[in-house]
Structure 1
Amino acid sequence: MSTFKDKIKLKYPTLSSGHKKVGKYVLDYPQAVAMKSASQLGQDVGVSETTIIRFCYALEYSGYSELQAEIRQFLIFQKSSFQDYQAMKAGEANQPNFFFQNMQRDQAHIQKIIEQINEEHLYRVAKKIYDSDNILVAGVRTSFAVAHWLSFALNIVRGNAHLVQPGVDDINFLFSKLNNQSIFVAITFHRYSSMTLDLAKLAKKQGAYIIGITDSVLSPLEEFADTLLPINLSSTSTLDTGPAVLSLINAIVAGVAVIDKDAFDRRREGYEKFNPGKFLI
């Protein structure tokens, strides 16, 4: 059964600009929607009460009261993503082929991303990265491992990639080097990191091309991204979506590697010839 969140995400690309504002507000502040009248909600969002009602019709609700009732039910039974993850795994623990079932779920998530993402967008991202002279990658908390792997892989196949680590790096120095030939890859998912968003905003001001990898077209990262790659999966836990995200990123790295085979071969040969010897022992 689809929820109000599912309906907003499904309809979002076809909504008017006013309805999109309402949709973002409903997703970000469901508690407020549960308590306010349509008129009060319109004042908070900056649209008319009529726009609120028409937004509900666009989502195929009979009116505002039906949407509000569903949101109230959602808030009563809402759990954290970790609780969802824990409950799902506990329910499957005694079933046969537990490990294979989890691997098959990863497989299904990857297939869903294949169906959602436009391959032309992936080619555009790979070409932008290849043509850039400076690549910064940012992701914190659950996105850190993915960001780290992407920067590492891009350094092998392309070079000039750097993982941004606030608190370790000199952010002023790194971002002073950004220009319109630079790429900034921002990776963040639900409970979006304000740090990653602030870095994307700063990179945008410096003229960098922003690639956003996130979980929805409604992500606040959409405001800054020149190309947004939204990964819309039913799972609410990033622990379950991680393998699919890595698969998407691996495809991007592969795309960068094959744009210029001769250049990649030269990088590979240099990489394989290097022998650090005792320094890494």
Structure 2
Amino acid sequence: MEFKELIHEHYNQLSVSQKKVALYVMDHPKIVAMSPAQVVGETMGVSETTVIRFCHSLGFSGYAKLQKAIREQLLFHESSLTTYQQAKVELEQAPHFFEQVMTQDLEKIMETMKQINEADYEAAIQQLAKAETIYVLGLRSSHIAANWLSYAIGLVRDDVQLIRPETEDVIQTLRQMNRNSVVIVISFHRYLKQTIQITQLAHEQEAFIIGITDSLLAPISQYSHLLFPIHSPNQSTLDATASLFSFMNAIVAGLSVNDKDRFEERQNQYRAIASDFLFVEGVDEQ
């Protein structure tokens, strides 16, 4: 199992001090790989025993095994795109290639389902349902997902806005946020500084932040009131796509049934607008 996934799996069971070690290890793998446990502990202000207990919590027999895993999995990790392509090459010789890829997508969705806390999901739906305004943020590789989610939520309720730093005054958008606003932030490795900065500013405006990312250790975690991890092996955003869209669909579905009357009213308003000039009906079969 990838070292990052291992920490992710055990993170909620770690003590406060051990979580501090986990964050330090992820942020400074080279230092950990080359330094004794005592030095690492002193740097963070925790005991050497805490560092060793952290290793045991992840299933390592000792600190040396932790260092070995870091060297192999973090220091020499190839780019996520290269890893994605190599993983697919391994399936190339197998029969029914597309079925193999889609089966892997199903497995990733199942893994994501295991990682989602149902109470957190219900809390997110409640926050979104009562929000005066919903903002959705996702840049670069996360932009398409953010665009779809803002559109889909917009079919369910009013006052949904996709944040577009490239075409709008973000400061003006942030100024309009308050404790009645909810911001959904989508952020995957490699984590964009601009996404993190906007999330921090939205948090300072007292907006409620819902983070969707690939790790409980992702940078937006420190500003998120609720954080939902999407299973993403090998830090591949492409491999996380199926799980991401499946979870976003669950959010839209939850909102649509949370307030059925408002959803029905929204759909009636939508249907009442003349739109024949936009659509072509399918041709009837003869």
Same fold (TM over 0.5): yes
Return the alpha-carbon distance in structure 1 between the equivalents of residues 42 and 232 of structure 2: 32
Spell out, residue by residue over 1:112-153, the C-alpha distance to the aligned partner (whole angstroms, 9 max, x if none).
Answer: 222322333222212211111111110112111111111111
Return the alpha-carbon distance in structure 1 between the equivalents of residues 118 and 8 of structure 2: 21
Return the alpha-carbon distance in structure 1 between the equivalents of residues 147 and 270 of structure 2: 19
- Closer, same or farther in 2 for the Cα pair 1:279/1:57, shift >3 Å? closer
Whether 1:107 aligns to 2:106 is: yes
Return the alpha-carbon distance in structure 2 between the equivalents of residues 279 and 66 of structure 1: 62
Whether 1:247 aligns to 2:227 is: no
Give the secondary structure class of the aligned counterpart of 2:235. coil
- Closer, same or farther in 2 for the Cα pair 1:261/1:105, shift >3 Å? same
Paired position in structure 2 for 1:118: 117
* C-alpha contact (below 8 Å) 1:8/1:59 kept by paired residues: yes
- Closer, same or farther in 2 for the Cα pair 1:176/1:254, shift >3 Å? same
The equivalences for 1:87-102 within 5 A come to: 87-102=86-101
Given residue 83 of structure 1, which amino acid in structure 2 is its aligned partner? T
- Closer, same or farther in 2 for the Cα pair 1:101/1:183, shift >3 Å? same
Aligned length: 280
The percent of aligned pairs where both chains have the same amino acid is: 40
Paired position in structure 2 for 1:133: 132
Task: Measure how far apart 1:47 and its partner are.
Answer: 2.5
Given residue 172 of structure 1, which amino acid in structure 2 is its aligned partner? I
Paired position in structure 1 for 2:41: 42
- Closer, same or farther in 2 for the Cα pair 1:82/1:119, shift >3 Å? same
Given residue 117 of structure 1, which amino acid in structure 2 is its aligned partner? I
Return the alpha-carbon distance in structure 2 between the equivalents of residues 278 and 232 of structure 1: 42
Return the alpha-carbon distance in structure 2 between the equivalents of residues 76 and 130 of structure 1: 43
Give the secondary structure class of the aligned counterpart of 2:217. coil
- Closer, same or farther in 2 for the Cα pair 1:172/1:16, shift >3 Å? same
Paired position in structure 2 for 1:31: 30
Between 1:198-207 and 1:228-237, the stretch displaced more is: 228-237
* C-alpha contact (below 8 Å) 2:233/2:239 kept by paired residues: no
- Closer, same or farther in 2 for the Cα pair 1:60/1:221, shift >3 Å? same
Q: Normalising to structure 1: TM-score of the pair?
A: 0.91
Paired position in structure 2 for 1:262: 261
Paired position in structure 1 for 2:220: 221
Task: Measure how far apart 1:73 and its partner are.
Answer: 2.8
Task: Measure how far apart 1:278 and its partner are.
Answer: 6.0
- Closer, same or farther in 2 for the Cα pair 1:249/1:90, shift >3 Å? same
* C-alpha contact (below 8 Å) 1:4/1:67 kept by paired residues: no
Whether 1:78 aligns to 2:81 is: no
Return the alpha-carbon distance in structure 2 between the equivalents of residues 152 and 107 of structure 1: 25
Give the secondary structure class of the aligned counterpart of 1:159. coil
Structure 1's unaligned 5+ residue stretches are none
Spell out, residue by residue over 1:240-259, the C-alpha distance to the aligned partner (whole angstroms, 9 max, x if none).
Answer: 11111001001111111112
What is the root-mean-square deviation of aligned Cα atoms in Å? 2.2
Task: Measure how far apart 1:178 and its partner are.
Answer: 0.8
* C-alpha contact (below 8 Å) 2:109/2:243 kept by paired residues: yes
Task: Measure how far apart 1:268 and its partner are.
Answer: 0.7
* C-alpha contact (below 8 Å) 2:138/2:195 kept by paired residues: yes
Return the alpha-carbon distance in structure 2 between the equivalents of residues 25 and 71 of structure 1: 12
- Closer, same or farther in 2 for the Cα pair 1:242/1:55, shift >3 Å? same
Whether 1:170 aligns to 2:169 is: yes
Whether 1:154 aligns to 2:153 is: yes
* C-alpha contact (below 8 Å) 2:30/2:75 kept by paired residues: no
Given residue 155 of structure 1, which amino acid in structure 2 is its aligned partner? G
Paired position in structure 1 for 2:13: 14
* C-alpha contact (below 8 Å) 1:112/1:233 kept by paired residues: no
Given residue 188 of structure 1, which amino acid in structure 2 is its aligned partner? S
- Closer, same or farther in 2 for the Cα pair 1:119/1:17, shift >3 Å? closer
Task: Measure how far apart 1:236 and its partner are.
Answer: 2.8
